[in-house]
A = this chain, B = another copy of it.
């Protein structure tokens, strides 16, 4: 591992999130370079700015320069790699997200999309989330992240794969270990609140809770429920190769 290599650090909770500060610490001995959104960008998915330009502010803290970007998490990674960093990063790390990125939910995640962008650009990339609320067990995170980074940098990540990691919010003594998982089927249970503005006009606000589904065997949801760190490899090739064959057989009937 190139100990003087850069780790591009970003998130979707914004540059001043405590999760980002912990991640910055946890990636050492890699040299963290923060390129993070100026404010919360939850549920932006893999949005990038094409119609609007992005701006960057430089903030020096303890002699180190953080970059604060007006764009999305994916913009941060792209701009970091293409413009701001003076050499390519050895790792792109996104998080620590305050909340889960599990099951179908991760399709909306700005945290995951930042790591996805890292993979698109060809770098080992990881998205890390802390599952739980209330008292946050940062010491567990500080113990887990170095393991994940060693795994990610040594295993030989294919260029179209990223790691999606979810850490249960428990003390280190209650953490039961690590599981390689698959993305579960859990989806948000959601509806819209219908409200009226001061002028009496209607607007809609999405309200959702993570749907409790029986945790499927081998899934990311099951792992964190059982107090294991979930390490799930995600790929950029979304093709459903199984269903491809079904379609192939049916096609001739319809043309």
Over the window 18-58 of chain A, the binary record of Cβ atoms lying under 8 Å from chain B Cβ atoms (1 yes, 0 no) is: 00000000000000000000001011111111110111100
Q: B residues within 8 A CB of A49?
A: 43, 206
Query: Which range holds the interface residue count of chain A?
Result: 35 or more
With contact pairs A46-B107, A107-B46 given, residues A204 and B53 touching in the complex (Cβ less than 8 Å): yes
Whole-angstrom distance between the Cβ of A199 and the nearest chain B Cβ: 12
- When all copies of this chain in the complex are counted, the total is 2
Whole-angstrom distance between the Cβ of A244 and the nearest chain B Cβ: 6
Closest to A148 in B: B254
Whole-angstrom CA separation of A189 from B194 in the bound complex: 43
Whole-angstrom CA separation of A236 from B13 in the bound complex: 24
Whole-angstrom CA separation of A104 from B83 in the bound complex: 21
Do the beta carbons of B151 and A251 come within 8 Å of each other? yes
Do the beta carbons of B147 and A120 come within 8 Å of each other? no
Surface stretch bound by B, among A134-142, A154-162, A166-174: A154-162
With contact pairs A151-B254, A204-B56 given, residues A233 and B244 touching in the complex (Cβ less than 8 Å): yes
Whole-angstrom distance between the Cβ of A139 and the nearest chain B Cβ: 17
**Residue in B45, B56, B191, B206 whose beta carbon sits within 8 Å of that of A45 in the complex:** B45
**Residue in B147, B158, B234 whose beta carbon sits within 8 Å of that of A239 in the complex:** B234
- A213 within 8 Å of B by Cβ? no
Do the beta carbons of A177 and B255 come within 8 Å of each other? yes
Over the window 178-197 of chain A, the binary record of Cβ atoms lying under 8 Å from chain B Cβ atoms (1 yes, 0 no) is: 10101101010011101100
Q: B residues within 8 A CB of A232?
A: 239
Where the two chains meet, the residues of A that have a C-beta atom closer than 8 Å to any C-beta of B are 40, 42-51, 53-56, 74-75, 78-79, 82-83, 104, 106-108, 113, 116, 120, 147, 150-151, 154-156, 158, 160-161, 177-178, 180, 182-183, 185, 187, 190-192, 194-195, 201-206, 231-241, 243-244, 246-248, 250-251, 253-255
